[in-house]
């Protein structure tokens, strides 16, 4: 598999002149393969958003290096690399630049000097991918949060990036909006093989990922499949991360003496196992 992104021994502090302040990110290394969905989880202040900004070159680490598509990132290739990475932020309102949906999707294309005819084509293509074609001329105040985030995804997709970074993109949405956005991302991955990096503290979202990166106090605490990470169980709870509902439920049932195997990633798996567990006896 192709390595699309790699971080080596990243250390970063917001206050370089105050060495007594703990680094926001300390000695983090990981690699992302093409087409993978990686979720970075951790509670507030764990350095996960800082990490996203380092990956995108919004912040430069004091130590270590970031490579995208095999090229180490520096001041010269920064803009080229950025055009390979789309990023969606937390607040749906604060990343809407254009006056209407189509203007907003075109914004990144305008910045990169794409000719008009191609722009029109790409805007329509990107909006079709997130199913927002019907809202072409809508103004942001007439859209729901989920719709705005889908427009933001389209705005990122218009540049045909290799990586999509979601920086807590669903945290300000209602459950319906969150489901809309996640469904859109899943569908995109199926269709285009996009690499997704989502920074989140929503564990349901994290469980959709192929691999989880668990950040704590600026360090990488654990890395593995969702199954492996959630098997850590109590250790996660101690570090302030809640367990996903099916895992928590299974645990509580086990404590009550119900014979369950555990390790359920979805509610359905749990339910199925509960109602056939009696047959197993």
Cα 158 from chain centre: 18
Residue 91 touching another protein (CB under 8 A): yes
**CA torsion 144→150→156→157, rounded to 10°?**
-150
Least spacing, CB of residue 7 vs another protein, in Å:
18
Contact with another protein (CB under 8 A): which of 15, 72, 79, 259?
Answer: 79
Contact with another protein (CB under 8 A): which of 32, 51, 66, 87?
Answer: 87
Question: Based on CB atoms, which residue is closest to another protein, 18 or 94?
Answer: 94
* Contact region with another protein (CB under 8 A), list: 32-40, 60-68, 90-98, 244-252: 90-98
Residue 20 exposed, middle or buried by CB count within 10 Å (0-12, 13-18, 19+): exposed
Long-range CB contacts (within 8 A, 24+) of 112-118: 112/83, 112/159
Contact 198, 186 (CB under 8 A): no
Least spacing, CB of residue 246 vs another protein, in Å:
34
Q: Identify the three-state secondary structure at position 28.
A: strand
Question: Based on CB atoms, which residue is closest to another protein, 198 or 216?
Answer: 198
Count of residues of this chain found to bind another protein when the rule CB under 8 A is applied: 38
Least spacing, CB of residue 164 vs another protein, in Å:
12
Question: Based on CB atoms, which residue is closest to another protein, 63 or 171?
Answer: 171
Least spacing, CB of residue 60 vs another protein, in Å:
13
Residue reference for tokens 């103004």: 139
Residue reference for tokens 């072409």: 136
Contact set for another protein, span 130-189 (CB under 8 A): 139-141, 155-156, 159
Residue 113 touching another protein (CB under 8 A): yes
Least spacing, CB of residue 232 vs another protein, in Å:
33
Best CA proximity match to 84, nearest among 170, 13, 142, 4:
4
Bridge-based pairing state of the strands 219-224 and 211-216: antiparallel
Residue 102 touching another protein (CB under 8 A): yes
Least spacing, CB of residue 98 vs another protein, in Å:
7
Q: Identify the three-state secondary structure at position 8.
A: strand
Residue 41 touching another protein (CB under 8 A): no
Q: Which residues are 12's β-sheet partners?
A: 25
Residue 24 touching another protein (CB under 8 A): no
Question: Based on CB atoms, which residue is closest to another protein, 57 or 226?
Answer: 57
Residue 238 exposed, middle or buried by CB count within 10 Å (0-12, 13-18, 19+): exposed
d(C-alpha 160, C-alpha 177), whole Å: 24
Question: Based on CB atoms, which residue is closest to another protein, 11 or 97?
Answer: 97
Sites of contact with another protein (CB under 8 A): 56, 58, 79, 82-83, 85, 87, 89, 91, 93-99, 102-103, 106-116, 119-120, 123, 139-141, 155-156, 159
């Amino acid at each position: 598999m192709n390595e699309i992104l790699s971080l080596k021994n990243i250390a970063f502090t917001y206050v370089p002149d105050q060495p007594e302040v703990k680094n926001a990110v300390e000695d983090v290394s990981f690699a992302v393969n093409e087409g993978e969905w990686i979720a970075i989880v951790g509670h507030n202040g764990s350095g996960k958003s800082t990490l996203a900004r380092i990956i995108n070159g919004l912040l430069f680490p004091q130590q270590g290096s970031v490579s995208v598509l095999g090229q180490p990132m520096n001041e010269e290739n920064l803009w080229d690399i950025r055009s390979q990475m789309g990023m969606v932020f937390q607040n749906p309102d604060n990343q809407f630049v254009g006056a209407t949906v189509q203007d907003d999707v075109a914004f990144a294309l305008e910045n990169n000097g794409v000719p008009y005819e191609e722009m029109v084509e790409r805007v329509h293509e990107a909006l079709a991918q997130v199913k927002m074609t019907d809202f072409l001329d809508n103004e942001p105040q007439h859209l729901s949060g989920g719709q705005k985030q889908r427009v933001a995804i389209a705005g990122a997709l218009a540049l045909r990036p290799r990586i999509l970074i979601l920086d807590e993109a669903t945290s300000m949405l209602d459950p319906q909006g969150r489901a809309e956005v996640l469904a859109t991302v899943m569908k995109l991955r199926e269709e285009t093989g996009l690499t997704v990096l989502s920074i989140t503290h929503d564990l349901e979202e994290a469980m959709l990922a192929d691999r989880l990166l668990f950040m704590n106090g600026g360090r990488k605490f654990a890395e593995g499949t969702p199954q492996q990470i959630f098997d850590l169980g109590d250790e996660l709870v101690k570090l302030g991360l809640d367990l996903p509902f099916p895992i928590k439920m299974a645990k509580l049932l086990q404590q009550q003496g119900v014979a369950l195997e555990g390790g359920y990633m979805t509610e359905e798996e749990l339910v199925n196992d509960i109602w056939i567990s009696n047959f197993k006896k």
